[in-house]
Structure 1
Amino acid sequence: MSMMKITVSALALAALSATAAAARDQVRVVGSSTVFPYSQAAAENFANATGMPAPVVESTGTGGGFKVFCGGIGEDHADLTGASRAMKKSEYELCAQNGVTDITEALIGYDGLSIAVSRATPFDWALTEEQIYLALAAQVPVDGEWKDNPYKKWSDIDASLPDTAILAYGPPPTSGTRDAFVELVLHDGCKRLPFVKEGGFDSKWVEENCSRMRQDGPFVEAGENDNLIVQRLEADPNAVGIFGYSFLYENNDKLQGIAIDGVEPNSDTIADFSYGVARPLYFYIKNAHRGVIPGLNEFITEFVSEAGLGDGGYQQERGLTVLSHDKLVEVEKTVADAVKMEAPAK
């Protein structure tokens, strides 16, 4: 090893050890509840293969994960964070302010943002993005005016929909799933409204006026624990839930996905993006912790391995829509080379 590498490693170790007497012996992962089961699976396989302690994996939500991840360098701070959307410019800047200036971004696969219901439901569910917007948005057009949402039942929106109270359990504002829902469902549904199309309102107007979830009861924030949403759907066959496809996949015996605009969520429709609510999933690596936190490099290698993220791998068995072989090879190289991400545009 060169003197330069020894010096850099020593400095990194000094920085990581500044706040505690002993170095942490477990990798720490935070972030998205959607990415959580994939991080957990990689942690289990890493521990089984190496005999090293399994990484500690916390479900904090995408926004919460970035806040923790960007808190600083050192053993008191997380090594990786999972995300169900790309890092925002403001989050990148928060990282930089706290000395986290060398980050690698890794695309791990694709996910469908699912709206699901209990298999015990008495209704034959199918929704459009426009109907979903009218059910769950804070403000909607009423008699030619933009007003607070008055709809209480699904049948108030369309007589063909169930004559039951609107009740949807979904993620909080800190969740990347919430961000994706707003962007991919609320915004698109709002744009289809005759009020918006005929009024000539642009995308900026839509973003400013169609991004808020209603807070009068029909939409319930269920926290970052998607398993809690599953339990609530089991208890109430009239309720719907919003979460990543992996949770629908894992609970297929209890839940069924609702077709959106005539397309049901499954691995094929997510992979070819015919399901209109598909999105990429990521994790982010704090490169200053490589070679310092025991097991971090080995865990990263396990996470992006063919056995994990490849076609037929154990992540696909958990509902991940996997990357093509060529794309996975590209991701593996990006991670192995610790390629530094560029600042996001927004």
Structure 2
Amino acid sequence: MKHTNTLILAACGAIIAASANAQSREQVRVVGSSTVFPYSQAVAEEFANQSGAPAPIVESTGTGGGMQIFCGGIGESHADITGASRAMTSSEYALCVENGVTDITEALIGYDGLSMAVSRSSENDWNLTLSEVYLALAAQVPVNGEWADNPYTRWSEINPDLPDVEILAYGPPPTSGTRDAFVELAMHAGCEELEFVQNGGFDGDWVEENCSRMRTDGPFVEAGENDNLIVQRLNADANAVGIFGYSFLYENLDTLKAVNINGVEPSVDTIGDFSYPISRPLYFYIKNAHRGVIPNMQEFVEEYMSEAALSPTGYLAERGLVSLPDDQRTALREAVLAGATMEAK
């Protein structure tokens, strides 16, 4: 019994110490996805303007990097919230649990499209199928009936109706949720459309194993977590293609234009009804142990969940977020504000 009491006292002491450390930090800290970043930044600015409280610190670390930071532990040295352009994985959840982060609220805040775009100075009207995207950017493709390293250097080599320009695409790194989603929604789907795969009877496991690697011989360039850098590079090269979240295309329509995918242009409507084939949900995750401890954290979450932010006419929609239906937004708001704990992954 004495040993049990000692353990309980030690645990309580650790919690009190963590709370005391957290209280010494004056600003909410948000990390995570470069796609969710502009939305969290907008909410942070609105919250500071409305409340007069210090604006939360928002960092663009990528989805994977954000999960590592968020799941690192409890206390002021660890982030309060992380944005994600995909759901938390089972391994990330296990890392959280391992480090004592066991009470987490998951919030699906809306939808986004993975846009491909070019400069408005491009002379070409771009319309790609998912299989053409795969053949241009994958590490390995069918060549003369064999699975081999990608030989294509120009779009016209894939389809003579495509622009006769060199393949050059700027996209996200492996740490990015945008990269994860692009591989799953565009590369895997494009691979599955290939006659080589269909006639070979290859299943989903084969596709995941053989169709997930982006090429590393030059036509695909990892541009880091800064999507604004991709925008700058597209404006400098009319033949280059960029890959990023719809919000960045939306915010740069004065200089960029969309690449249609399977004949569908990304828009709020086509992303919302999933007729645009590379659409995905966006999330943020809240560390509930920090609520009521980090100053203004709950109030910041309330602003994020407000109709002013998340409705179809809200200020996040103005930045490209595709809103949830009314009933789903209501359910989301109730669950998040109550601190509902997500189920184990």
TM bin, normalised by shorter chain, reads over 0.9
Q: Who is 2:100 aligned against?
A: 99
Shift of 1:17: 3.1
Q: Who is 1:298 aligned against?
A: 299
In 2, Cα distance between the equivalents of 1:325 and 1:31? Answer: 26
Q: Superposition pairs for residues 162-177 of structure 1, below 5 Å? A: 162-177=163-178
- DSSP-derived class of the 2:214 partner: coil
Q: Who is 2:319 aligned against?
A: 318
Shift of 1:325: 1.3
Shift of 1:16: 3.4
In 2, Cα distance between the equivalents of 1:162 and 1:259? Answer: 14
In 2, Cα distance between the equivalents of 1:257 and 1:110? Answer: 18
In 2, Cα distance between the equivalents of 1:328 and 1:245? Answer: 21
* CA offsets 1:223-253 (integer angstroms, 9 cap, x no match): 0000000000000000000000000000010
In 2, Cα distance between the equivalents of 1:311 and 1:188? Answer: 29
Distance 1:333 1:12, change over 3 A: farther
Distance 1:12 1:229, change over 3 A: same
Shift of 1:11: 7.0
In 2, Cα distance between the equivalents of 1:68 and 1:300? Answer: 19
Q: Who is 1:15 aligned against?
A: 18
In 1, Cα distance between the equivalents of 2:296 and 2:13? Answer: 17
In 1, Cα distance between the equivalents of 2:65 and 2:213? Answer: 19
Structure 2, unpaired ranges of 5+: 1-10
In 1, Cα distance between the equivalents of 2:333 and 2:33? Answer: 21
Amino acid at match of 2:111: Y
Query: Once superposed, which parts of structure 1, at least 4 consecutive aligned residues long, lie more than 3 Å away?
Result: 8-13
TM-score, length of structure 1 as denominator length? 0.95
- DSSP-derived class of the 2:109 partner: strand
Amino acid at match of 1:116: A
TM-score, length of structure 2 as denominator length? 0.95
Q: Who is 1:38 aligned against?
A: 39
Residues 26 and 56 in structure 1, CA contact (< 8 A), matched pair in contact too: yes
Q: Who is 1:269 aligned against?
A: 270
Residues 9 and 292 in structure 1, CA contact (< 8 A), matched pair in contact too: no
In 1, Cα distance between the equivalents of 2:339 and 2:12? Answer: 15
Q: Who is 1:25 aligned against?
A: 26
* CA offsets 1:188-240 (integer angstroms, 9 cap, x no match): 00001010000000000000000000000000000000000000000000000
Structure 1, unpaired ranges of 5+: 1-7
In 1, Cα distance between the equivalents of 2:284 and 2:299? Answer: 15
Q: Who is 1:250 aligned against?
A: 251
* CA offsets 1:156-204 (integer angstroms, 9 cap, x no match): 1111111111000000000000000000000000001010000000000
- DSSP-derived class of the 1:30 partner: strand
Residues 9 and 291 in structure 1, CA contact (< 8 A), matched pair in contact too: no
Q: Who is 1:279 aligned against?
A: 280
In 2, Cα distance between the equivalents of 1:44 and 1:270? Answer: 26
Residues 30 and 80 in structure 1, CA contact (< 8 A), matched pair in contact too: yes
Q: Who is 1:3 aligned against?
A: none
In 1, Cα distance between the equivalents of 2:95 and 2:143? Answer: 41
Shift of 1:131: 0.2
- DSSP-derived class of the 1:163 partner: coil
- DSSP-derived class of the 1:17 partner: helix
Residues 62 and 174 in structure 1, CA contact (< 8 A), matched pair in contact too: yes
In 2, Cα distance between the equivalents of 1:225 and 1:170? Answer: 10
Question: Is 1:126–2:127 an aligned residue pair?
Answer: yes
Amino acid at match of 1:319: G
Residues 12 and 292 in structure 1, CA contact (< 8 A), matched pair in contact too: no
Shift of 1:261: 0.4
Residues 258 and 264 in structure 1, CA contact (< 8 A), matched pair in contact too: yes
Distance 1:262 1:74, change over 3 A: same
In 2, Cα distance between the equivalents of 1:273 and 1:104? Answer: 26
Amino acid at match of 2:97: A
